[in-house]
Amino acid sequence: MPADPYQTLGVKKDASQAEIQKAYRRLAKKLHPDLNPGNKQAEEQFKEVSAANDLLGDAQKRARFDRGEIDASGAERPRQRYYRDFADAGTSNPYASDAGFADFAGGDDFFSEIFGRQARGNIRRRGQDAHYRLALDFLDAINGGKQQLTLPDGSVLDVAIPPGTRDGQVLRLRGKGMPGIGGGPPGDALIEIEVRPHRIFTRKGDDIHLELPISLREAVLGGKVKVPTPSGEVTMSIPKWSNTGSVLRLKGQGVSRPNGSRGDEYVTLKVMLPERPDPELEKFAAQWHPATARNPREAMGV
């Protein structure tokens, strides 16, 4: 049952048409949904006030209502749309205005990021990543350190090489890529590492492999020899009767791992005869008839 339209408009039964119009306009200006975008109740109240005005604002309808010929029901006028329903829809609103907050967007802080994003319509973007290649000497990659990369524009980028860097590894330098768009953060520099081969060392995973020439005398009698490693030379004991192909392990002399441990160095022995013919050795070999002599090619069946 609709409320009494006189009560809705707050006028007396004998109010003049001018008074009714004045009361309606006063209420409607306060209650119009588009002037109260966040107030859901305003729409219901505005409907009631509009319906009351439709009835009482028209002198003929009002007279029939006063005589009891019509009642207040059915007088509601269907309302199809309010501006607020479209204006609040966000970016699709062509009448959108940032004038109410444009002055907040000047600084460089949290708020300007949000307001700026609104004002510029989301063109704030992170810069692109830049891709570079850097060739490293074998030992520089294993031991790590600072390297300089000269960029195409002539500027120089300091690159920290972590110890144990591998061939093909990509280092990421945050914020060293292309500048951002519309105040967005810069991209990253991605540096692909190429490691040049070494004259004597080869790398397998975190281990270093090395072929170590030893003399015949060292092979037969054993002894201490100096061995190169990526971090310098160390002394290693060769057991007696170490043949070509024997592999000795130097624990912890390989490549540093990120967790602080290290790989090993594997030393493959290679027995070397004296470079020049040695008459004494020839004489010895000629007289040497070992009791346990075996054919070293036995396994080949020849």
Q: Are 28 and 8 in contact (CB under 8 A)?
A: no
Interaction of residue 40 with another protein, rule CB under 8 A? no
Nearer Cβ to another protein (54/167): 54
Nearer Cβ to another protein (112/215): 112
Interaction of residue 95 with another protein, rule CB under 8 A? yes
Interaction of residue 85 with another protein, rule CB under 8 A? yes
Interface residues for another protein in 7-36 (CB under 8 A)? 25, 28-29, 32, 34-35
Among 18, 99, 291, 293, binds another protein (CB under 8 A): 99
Among 54, 58, 76, 98, binds another protein (CB under 8 A): 98
Among 1, 13, 69, 97, binds another protein (CB under 8 A): 97
Q: How far is CA 271 from CA 80, 213, 219, 242, in A?
A: 99, 6, 7, 8
Q: Which residues lie below 8 Å from residue 270, measured CB to CB, with a gap of 6+?
A: 211, 212, 213, 214, 244, 245
Estimate to the nearest angstrom the gap between the alpha carbon of 149 and the chain centroid. 23
Nearer Cβ to another protein (84/176): 84
Q: How far is the CB of 100 from another protein (least distance, A)?
A: 4
* Selection from 282, 250, 254 nearest residue 269 by Cα: 250
Estimate to the nearest angstrom the gap between the alpha carbon of 253 and the chain centroid. 35
Interaction of residue 76 with another protein, rule CB under 8 A? no
Interaction of residue 183 with another protein, rule CB under 8 A? no
Q: How far is the CB of 10 from another protein (least distance, A)?
A: 16
Among 7, 16, 37, 71, binds another protein (CB under 8 A): 37
Q: How far is the CB of 95 from another protein (least distance, A)?
A: 5
Among 3, 63, 114, 216, binds another protein (CB under 8 A): 114
Q: How far is the CB of 90 from another protein (least distance, A)?
A: 6
What's the rounded Cα separation, in Å, for the pair 186 and 195?
Answer: 28
Binding range to another protein, per CB under 8 A, among 113-121, 219-227, 253-261, 269-277:
113-121
Q: How far is the CB of 35 from another protein (least distance, A)?
A: 7
Interaction of residue 68 with another protein, rule CB under 8 A? no
CA dihedral angle for residue 19, residue 21, residue 27, residue 31, rounded to 10 degrees:
180
Q: How far is the CB of 122 from another protein (least distance, A)?
A: 11
Q: Which residues lie below 8 Å from residue 240, measured CB to CB, with a gap of 6+?
A: 220, 221, 222
Nearer Cβ to another protein (117/124): 117
Q: How far is CA 22 from CA 26, 44, 73, in A?
A: 6, 20, 23
Nearer Cβ to another protein (79/166): 79
Interaction of residue 86 with another protein, rule CB under 8 A? yes
Q: Provide the binding-site residues for another protein, judged by CB under 8 A.
A: 25, 28-29, 32, 34-35, 37-38, 80-90, 92-101, 111, 114-115, 117-118
